[in-house]
Structure 1
């Protein structure tokens, strides 16, 4: 077998059918109802954790579009997350822009950044592309500490971001109903609304002509090029879209945490997002929330088991998850769907 035939015969990632990328309508409505009702019964700290769950879920979803959709590996998502976070923070604190308006700006800035980075990355693939993005993630915190940008970024000390209050119209409606809404609860619902909008956009994107081009490139780049797909354009477009969504997630993260600093966006964050994608299931968009929950809550569970050996406990849990369900939450969902189908036939 020739080298070209070997490349043609071996896809980079396992193909995921378009129908398997999302949840069913009934399951989606149940999940949405739970997400809407959950903050009404918990304290503000839990609401904050759920907000971060949605934010990291967006970042994992963005990586899923890039890797699960177009087959490009990236360990540099923390760089795009940092650019989005700093864009929102600078616009809010230095220019006085409304927090909601900073998010599309952060997304646009990161889209341009990701698209431009994707141009030189076209020559790379597989582990070499992963190493290039790894270098980007490693360099970003150091770039943010440079004195040239210190006036805007705050340098090593970072920037404090003001947490927004609910809009006056919302407060008026709640006051009429003798109800109150905390800042954390408002930010959770605001983040949930944006998450739903981006999720719907992502599903439609992967089902569109561009999404089919992404998946054709993922499955076999040579065959996609032979069918007339502009491989260079769609690979850079995938990078840009993924970076834009990650930037919006970064902006939301800056608003939720109320602080941005270079050391908060190290390579550890990039690896965590990649881990979340793998645990959630590569190419399965609903798994992004599952992967986000894993990287947020499992370290706390590991620390609760053993504070001195929390890293070792986390490693054991991760090993067991990868060993038992190598395809992540998508595999669990498929098994559950099969069992439910068997019960219905009975």
Structure 2
């Protein structure tokens, strides 16, 4: 072996320009993958209503409505470690609050949203005060009771709520300058509300309140030793959760144009809880994936077996949880990490 050859043995081969550019691209994507994913998602969301038929636009609008409701439930269950089987009741408060304001007082549709959200917040605060002393199954039973007595209560006050017949309302008309059809206008209203509520939830979870909620979820005793006021933050979690559900209920009324007590039965609360567990607890992507699940899986179950859609729905939940114990958001994160590892090695 010559001296020149011996000097080169064991030295790494210099990376070429193409490999360097690829590595820089991977590092840039890794550093900003969250922002890139959100930007891509918003771009697709703004593009879809111009390409789909009205019924499919309506379905996507309802996905956004459910995503806002699940965002509140995720705050309570995924981040605060509490449980609620009565989330549909707060959804109904927002829906009926909006319907009554439009029907009785001829209020503008957009003006009803903050009022309905505030009413749900106040109700969540009222129910959160006694609920903070309960845990586990006891808390689940109390929240379930809220959903159980809501339907007969709505039917009883017929002069206000319309009783069993419900209330039929007009939908918000698109301004002429937008050039949008009614279904597209409703979609973009729901999208705007979803974006605002997701930003609000993100800011809340990154604040001291969010850190306190995580401490309560992980270990209440340790959180109390560190100075976290358990009762205050648990009650606040109920109130915030109810507020998001009330906002979703308000948009639901705009989109459907009709409310009735039977639309807000216990089944809705259980379906919402299943949706956030399947979507992914403790993740901001979980509510959106859960909204897709809540909207499309029941209809798929109905198509698979019209005689027993509940059985098919339950089996699909079991299958999803078997494949993705951390929910669909956890599965997506795991796939993203695997993809980035492959790109780095390549």
TM-score by length of 1: 0.88
Distance 1:296 1:25 in 2: 26
- Mapping of 1:145-224 within 5 angstroms? 145-146=155-156, 149-167=157-175, 171-172=176-177, 174=178, 180-224=179-223
Superimposed CA distance per residue, residues 213-256 of structure 1 (whole angstroms, 9 cap, x where no aligned partner): 11111111111111111111111011001101100100111111
CA drift of 1:335 comes to 1.5
Q: 1:60 aligns with which of 64, 70, 78?
A: 70
1:23–1:286 Cα contact (<8 Å) kept? no
Partner SS state of residue 105, structure 2: coil
Measured in 1, the distance between the counterparts of 2:274 and 2:343 equals 35
- 1:278 is aligned to 2:288: no
Take 1:142 and 1:127, find their aligned partners in 2: how far apart are those partners?
24
Q: What is the CA RMSD across the aligned residues, in angstroms?
A: 1.3
**Alpha-carbon distance in 1 for matches of 2:279, 2:312:** 20
Aligned to 1:292: 291
Corresponding residue number in structure 2 for 1:48: 58
Radius of gyration: which is bigger? 2
Q: How many residues align?
A: 314
Runs (4+) of structure 1 exceeding 4 A deviation are none
**SS state of the match for residue 107, structure 1?**
helix
Question: Mean alpha-carbon deviation: is it higher for 56-65 or for 293-302?
Answer: 293-302
The 5-angstrom pairing of residues 301-312 of structure 1 reads 301-312=300-311
Mapped contact 1:57–1:289 kept (Cα < 8 A): yes
Unaligned runs of 5+ in 1: 1-21, 175-179
Match of residue 125 from structure 2: 115
Map of 1:8-87 to 2, 5 A cutoff?
24-87=34-97
Asked if 1:101 corresponds to 2:100, the answer is: no
> Which residues of structure 2 form unaligned runs of 5+?
1-31
Secondary structure of the equivalent of 1:24? helix
Output the CA distance in 1 between the equivalents of 2:302 and 2:314.
12
Q: 2:138 aligns with which of 101, 123, 128?
A: 128
